[in-house]
Chains A and B, each alone.
Chain A
């Protein structure tokens, strides 16, 4: 009974610890992977902002592009204009269904498909949009449908709008739970918004043998009014903003470890004190202290190993549950995971629990066997 309870307690604590370890570095890792998967090593954005941060734009893009492309080591330059748009299904009576959806519009260079994967149909040509698959489903549109797009500010919609054809649907890499983006040619969105020569940010691919950091410095040298960041820089910024979760992870992780150790320590202490007679007898027989201590500590290691093993399984389940909760955080790409199932974090949690369980068991074992054999015998033999 008590063994079952201890194992259960250790399992829950281990699960918590493992989850906190996953949470600790999870966001940064998964976001970093997401960024890297795009194959562009640098981002150029308005000073003081990060891509998708604000509706701020870089004006005079044509000129800036020329100077950026002149920097040694710069490979491909892919500008993006991102802004809130309103989308309305076309057709039916009175020219519209009346349901207006606000979403994120992305203006992309022809051939730049790095921000989405096409699910159905094709990428957008002139006068076309590619719609987020979730949005397409909600609006019941597919390739060939027509939509009316307008420009939306944070709190309202502006007048100008354009009728566009849906070229296909896709999964957007940086889509958030709320933003289900649509992609269209950069020039189309610039024309629609009147931001003819502006972009929100640009992604830059570095040449095969160029050092991203050197290229970053190079671009910063010719374009002093923009922010040039490496992917690591973006990850760090994000991490800074989500530092709360890291702190929570550290605190709760240590508390969990402490609880697991306390539980194992208590159980070992009690079972050792119950068996003082046997311990005394075994020592009197001549079994070395080291061996007795080792056997007692081994018991707590077994408790920790079994409880921890169950806990690791539990951790995966609990992480899934906590992930669904945190997925509701606004403004984070859906693809970013808070809890990344990394073998290292699971192994670290498991190892920590086993080691601290062993230590927690070692303490009472050392104390019990540290006493004089005769004293123990005197107490245990009436």
Chain B
């Protein structure tokens, strides 16, 4: 099984005014192709920070993050952005869809940024939306969709570029129990068809549904 990303003994300090916050103090993770990894832990323990480091959104203060064999710490800001665009899909708690764009246009966004031709963009976005069960909502705007539907659009957006890794931070945080279950089912389906997933969550049901689980406590990982 091939390794997608590894983080070895990483720390991350945030400077806030004069005070320094140590969000991570020695975290180690390995994500392999086909994993469905749940990251749990108390609030403020550093789950989001860890996800950001794994996806190259942020760089570690110390330690090494290696993404498909590439040391993320050595990449420039633009190079990391380009890498994310190609290889990482991101899902947020608050969806963060562009309100003036339709569902399909939101999904097309990363494809457009990656300069995929218009025709192909349309087709691929429609196909991904169909995969998440929204084939009949292509032309709706976020305001015309329910929370669960919005999150599925956001998941479709994360899948659009066919990334090596999908990172979801608290994807069910704004959803009710029933809707959360449907998101879990979707994740499981995606994982079954080969998508690698890392999900940070407080949702025990979601965590239980993953194939592997690590806990972050006070900035350190525990298996």
Which residues 150-181 of B have a CB within 8 angstroms of A?
Answer: 157, 169-170, 173
Interface size class of A (residues with CB under 8 A): 20 to 34
- Determine if B52 and A374 form an interchain contact, defined as CB atoms under 8 angstroms apart: yes
Q: Which residues of B contact A374 (CB under 8 A)?
A: 49, 52, 57-58
CB-contact partner of B157 in A280, A285, A289, A380, under 8 A: A285
- Determine if B90 and A285 form an interchain contact, defined as CB atoms under 8 angstroms apart: yes
CA distance A286 to B173 in the complex (A): 23
A381 within 8 A of B: yes
With known contacts A280-B96, A381-B169, A288–B57 Cβ distance under 8 A: no
Which residues 59-97 of B have a CB within 8 angstroms of A?
Answer: 78, 80-86, 88, 90, 92-94, 96-97
Q: Which A residue's beta carbon lies closest to that of B77? A: A289
- Determine if A284 and B84 form an interchain contact, defined as CB atoms under 8 angstroms apart: yes
- Determine if A381 and B113 form an interchain contact, defined as CB atoms under 8 angstroms apart: no
With known contacts A284-B84, A287-B109, A373–B57 Cβ distance under 8 A: yes
- Determine if B110 and A373 form an interchain contact, defined as CB atoms under 8 angstroms apart: no
A143 within 8 A of B: no
Q: Which residues of A contact B84 (CB under 8 A)?
A: 284-286
Q: Nearest Cβ distance between residue A274 and chain B, in whole angstroms?
A: 10
B208 within 8 A of A: no
- Determine if B57 and A287 form an interchain contact, defined as CB atoms under 8 angstroms apart: no
- Determine if A377 and B48 form an interchain contact, defined as CB atoms under 8 angstroms apart: yes
B98 within 8 A of A: yes
Q: Which residues of A contact B157 (CB under 8 A)?
A: 285
CA distance A377 to B169 in the complex (A): 11
Q: Which B residue's beta carbon lies closest to that of A283? A: B81
- Determine if A285 and B48 form an interchain contact, defined as CB atoms under 8 angstroms apart: no
Query: Chain A binding site: helix, strand, loop or mixed by DSSP?
Result: helix
Q: Which residues of A contact B86 (CB under 8 A)?
A: 286
CA distance A291 to B81 in the complex (A): 12
CA distance A288 to B169 in the complex (A): 22
- Determine if A381 and B90 form an interchain contact, defined as CB atoms under 8 angstroms apart: no
Q: Which residues of A contact B109 (CB under 8 A)?
A: 282, 285, 287
CB-contact partner of B93 in A278, A289, A291, A381, under 8 A: A381
With known contacts A281-B90, A287-B113, A377–B52 Cβ distance under 8 A: yes
Q: Which B residue's beta carbon lies closest to that of A380? A: B94
Most B CB contacts (10 A, CB to CB) among A281, A283, A285 go to: A285
Which residues 274-307 of A have a CB within 8 angstroms of B?
Answer: 277-278, 280-289, 291
- Determine if A286 and B88 form an interchain contact, defined as CB atoms under 8 angstroms apart: yes
Which residues 119-163 of A have a CB within 8 angstroms of B?
Answer: none
Q: Nearest Cβ distance between residue B158 and chain A, in whole angstroms?
A: 8
Q: Which residues of A contact B81 (CB under 8 A)?
A: 283, 286-289
Q: Which A residue's beta carbon lies closest to that of B57? A: A284
Q: Which residues of B contact A373 (CB under 8 A)?
A: 57-58
A378 within 8 A of B: yes
CB-contact partner of A285 in B52, B113, B169, under 8 A: B113
- Determine if B85 and A287 form an interchain contact, defined as CB atoms under 8 angstroms apart: yes
CA distance A286 to B113 in the complex (A): 8
Chain B residues in contact with chain A, CB under 8 A?
48-49, 52, 55, 57-58, 78, 80-86, 88, 90, 92-94, 96-99, 109-110, 113, 157, 169-170, 173
Q: Which A-B residue pairs are the 9 nearest by beta carbons?
A: A286-B85, A281-B96, A286-B84, A287-B113, A374-B58, A286-B81, A278-B96, A284-B57, A277-B96
- Please, could you name 15 A-B residue pairs with CB atoms under 8 Å apart, sorted by A? A278-B96, A278-B98, A281-B90, A284-B84, A286-B81, A286-B84, A286-B113, A287-B110, A288-B81, A291-B113, A374-B49, A374-B58, A377-B52, A380-B94, A381-B48
Given contacts A286-B113, A381-B169, 9 further A-B contacts (CB under 8 A): A277-B96, A282-B98, A283-B81, A285-B84, A286-B80, A286-B84, A286-B88, A291-B113, A381-B94
